[in-house]
Amino acid sequence: MSAAPVILGVSGASGAAIALRLAELLSAAAVSVELIVTRGAERTLNEEVGPDALARLDRLATRRHAIDDLGATVASGSYPVAGMIVAPCSMRSLGAIANSLSDNLLVRAADVQLKERRRLVLIARESPLHLGHLRAMCAVTEMGAIVAPPSPAFYLKPVTSDEIIDQIARRAADLLGVLPPMARQWTDACRPPLSRPGGV
């Protein structure tokens, strides 16, 4: 395992499969995963991925912390971690992080990353966005977080939803910066041929 673990927070927004793929990637790279799952996320994992999704996440994590355990190790800045990803990140969680409302362990752990100047990546999942969402995104960005909506890389011409999920998860891991780049990169091979007048 790597010297410092990564915190993976999972909130109740749609996109639960991203969390599972992230856990798979981090685990395969021998990165220790400290898992925090909200109650809403438990339901979304079940509905979007399947009844065994939470158990699969648990098996990939080093440990899962109870959402109400504000005395957990990851609630303290003295506990060394490499950073945190919240995937997916609901607007409720993002708003709480933006306002330092540490009423559960996911928000508290995210708040700790900000105060310790560690990397915090928020896979913010909502559309369309109202002004409150946008202001919360601006606030966490000003604090040092990275807001990364799960945008598909259509230029890679994905065929399946699994390919889209995999690329989003790899980009999130890359943004955390604890491993060599994992995502497929834009190259000239991704670019369509230029259309030239007269077929030249």
**Per-residue pLDDT tens digits for 156-197:** 999 999 999 999 999 999 999 988 888 888 876 566 655 555
**pLDDT tens by residue, 80-136:** 999 999 999 999 999 999 999 999 999 999 999 999 999 999 999 999 999 999 999
> What separation, in Å, do the N-terminal and C-terminal C-alpha atoms of the chain show?
55
Mean confidence (pLDDT) of the chain: 93
Task: Report, as an integer, the average pLDDT of 2-27.
Answer: 94
Q: How far apart are CA 172 and CA 18, in angstroms?
A: 9
E strand or H helix at 173 = helix 161-176
Give residue 191's pLDDT: 63
Q: Which of 186, 106, 115, 105 is closest to 153 using CA atoms? A: 186
pLDDT at 1 over 50: no
Give residue 189's pLDDT: 58
Query: How far is C-alpha 34 from the chain's CA centre?
Result: 13
φ/ψ of residue 188, rounded to 5: -60, -25
> Exposed (0-12), middle (13-18) or buried (19+): which is 44, by Cβ within 10 Å?
buried
Q: What string of DSSP letters covers 122-155? A: EEE--SS--HHHHHHHHHHHHHT-EE------GG
Task: Report, as an integer, the average pLDDT of 43-51.
Answer: 97
Say if residues 87 and 22 touch (Cβ distance below 8 Å). yes
pLDDT at 200 over 50: no
